[in-house]
Structure 1
Amino acid sequence: MGSGRFFHTAGGGPTAESARDADAVKLATTRVGEIEVREDDIIFFPRGLLGFPALARYVVIARPEDGPFRRLQAIERPDLSFVIADPLVFFPRYRLPAAIEDLSAIELADPADGVVAVILTVPRDPRLITANLQAPVAINTRARLGMQLILSAPEYTAAHCIFSREGVPQGA
């Protein structure tokens, strides 16, 4: 599974200025304000996310001012979003184990259609941002389906600091 196409193009999710066509609906989020979302921007998570099994519809919000960070915004809960990022930006050696959970739930037959993101915890001091490398999110960009994986790889934890003590990305 790759990550570039999803995280580095406007097609990876709406921006505040995108989705101006007729099928767009307005969503008033508590984090980034009002956005317009097209039906084909919505990613369906059949099993929800950990702790939120009943919330299945999300959209990725990509804003230029957020750099490598995106928001995975719940459609049903405007107050709920997760900061996500391409794990390879901060951890270039990050790899999913070969024996990961079956991805048939998101109809991922071609790895080129898949992307991986990690959920970040963002405290007041941004130098202390952590990434949950143990439970990444896999998304089939073609089918617009997603799922959260649970990895048993001992090298990954739920709270990896993304910056070193010097304040630079871990992988730099």
Structure 2
Amino acid sequence: MELITDVFGVITVEEKDIFHFEVGIPGFEELSSFVVIQDSTEASFSYLQSVERPELSFFLIDPFAFFPAYDFELPETAVKDLKAESIEQLLVRTIVTVRDKLSNATTNLVAPIVLNMEERVGKQVILIQTDYTTRHNLFPIETDEVKGGNP
């Protein structure tokens, strides 16, 4: 099928490439079909494109590439929802928000997107009892001292 997207223009999507999100994504519960569009130049970046609303896509990162110590235990209910038999089936990504400029980008480490690459199901998992934040800076925050400027 062909999708006319706001970000990528016309893209061809194979049925076998669609991920089903049974309960959608918080804030977009009515949407259940998404495809992952991989950045061709950087494996750490990708997009989660809605099939039902071509104007909607989420910018994703591989959180382990930016935060090597990132770790969490997937709740048993999520394992069941994702039909996961092994961790090797799963791909973890987090949603990035860019408000004004890329250097201020943040990512939501509290609610990773988890994809079962074999079963083609996905879920945004909300982590409980975590020290992670929903707006974790992707890049070190620049200060006047770091930039070499004066206040």
Is TM (by shorter chain) over 0.5? Answer: yes
CA shift at 1:69, angstroms? Answer: 1.5
- State yes or no: 1:41 paired with 2:17: yes
Q: Deviations over 1:69-101 (max 9, x none)?
A: 211000000110100111001111001136564
Q: 2:87 aligns with which of 111, 117, 121?
A: 111
In the alignment, structure 2 segments of 5+ residues that lack a partner are 143-151
CA shift at 1:123, angstroms? Answer: 2.2
The aligned residue for residue 149 of structure 2 is none
Identify which of structures 1 and 2 has the higher relative contact order when contacts are C-alpha pairs closer than 8 Å and 6+ apart: 1
The aligned residue for residue 132 of structure 1 is 108
The aligned residue for residue 125 of structure 2 is 149
**Given residue 102 of structure 2, which amino acid in structure 1 is its aligned partner?**
P
Q: 1:46 to 1:86 in 2, by over 3 A?
A: same
Q: 1:51 aligns with which of 27, 30, 35?
A: 27
Preserved CA contact (<8 Å) 1:86 1:116 = yes
TM-score by length of 1: 0.77
Q: Which whole-Å CA distance do the structure 2 matches of 1:97 and 1:107 have between them?
A: 16
Q: Which whole-Å CA distance do the structure 2 matches of 1:55 and 1:102 have between them?
A: 18
Alignment RMSD? 1.6
The aligned residue for residue 31 of structure 1 is 7
In the alignment, structure 1 segments of 5+ residues that lack a partner are 1-24, 167-172
Q: 1:128 to 1:100 in 2, by over 3 A?
A: farther
Q: Which whole-Å CA distance do the structure 2 matches of 1:69 and 1:139 have between them?
A: 15
**Count of residues paired in the alignment:** 142
CA shift at 1:109, angstroms? Answer: 1.2
Preserved CA contact (<8 Å) 1:106 1:147 = yes
Percent of paired sites with the same residue: 36
Q: Which runs of 4+ in 1 moved over 2 A?
A: 65-68, 97-102
The structure with more radius of gyration: 2
SS at match of 2:139: coil
Preserved CA contact (<8 Å) 1:101 1:149 = no
The aligned residue for residue 86 of structure 1 is 62
The aligned residue for residue 68 of structure 1 is 44
Q: 1:96 aligns with which of 72, 81, 91?
A: 72
Q: 1:31 to 1:66 in 2, by over 3 A?
A: farther
CA shift at 1:65, angstroms? Answer: 3.9
Q: Which whole-Å CA distance do the structure 1 matches of 2:97 and 2:77 have between them?
A: 24
**Given residue 131 of structure 2, which amino acid in structure 1 is its aligned partner?**
E
Q: 2:134 aligns with which of 158, 164, 171?
A: 158
